[in-house]
Amino acid sequence: MPIISDLIQLIYVSKPFGYDGPTLGAILIDARRCNARDGITGALVCRHDAYLQLLEGPAEKVRATYQRIIRDDRHANVEELVNHAVTERMFGDWAMLHDPETSWVWSREEIEDGVLERASPAEIVAMFAGLSEKARAEG
């Protein structure tokens, strides 16, 4: 009988509200603490114009975390981009990997032009897969 996993990946984008170093630091501290407690791993790509985050873990815990993010006043216009079951974690070694804006594959102009609205879920997941590979290589 196959093992049924409730492991999911959820990727969302939001607009930062009050983006600065201390705000970003507080988000990362909160995320790492709560994610370690809840068995969630993932990555957060931060820029002045967008947060792009991948959360992965038990479905119930990931959905509850996403609901907290939606209510968090440091995020505006939260939009779910990907939500699917997975068999393994992409960021299993990180409670929350932080990727600085300089390494993101899409430019500010592309974001403003709507690249995330046009990107397929597979393209968005592939961007995070590349980030995971890079982080492991640098690890």
Which token pair is 135? 């982080």
> Domain residue spans in the chain?
7-138
Block residue for tokens 């430019």: 107
Residue 16: what pLDDT?
83
Q: How many residues does the chain have?
A: 139
pTM: 0.87
Q: CA-CA distance, 108 to 114, in Å (whole number)?
A: 10
71-94 per-position pLDDT tens digit: 988 888 999 999 999 999 999 888
When computed from its CA atoms, the radius of gyration of the chain, rounded to whole angstroms, is 14
Residue 115: what pLDDT?
85
The CATH class of 7-138 is alpha beta
- What is the DSSP code (8-state) at residue 104? -
- Smallest Cα–Cα separation from 24: which of 84, 112, 100, 95? 100
Q: Which phi-psi region, left, alpha or beta, contains residue 39 (left: φ > 0; alpha: ψ -120 to 50)? A: left
Check: CB of residue 14 under 8 Å from CB of residue 80.
no
**pLDDT lower than 50: segments of the chain:** 1-4
> What is the DSSP annotation of 73-136?
TTEEEEEEEEEEE-SS-SSTT-SSEEE-GGG-SS-HHHHHTTHHHHS-HHHHHHHHHHHHHHHH
Residue 98: what pLDDT?
76
Residue 2: what pLDDT?
45
Q: What is the largest CA-CA distance in the chain?
A: 50
Check: CB of residue 108 under 8 Å from CB of residue 49.
yes
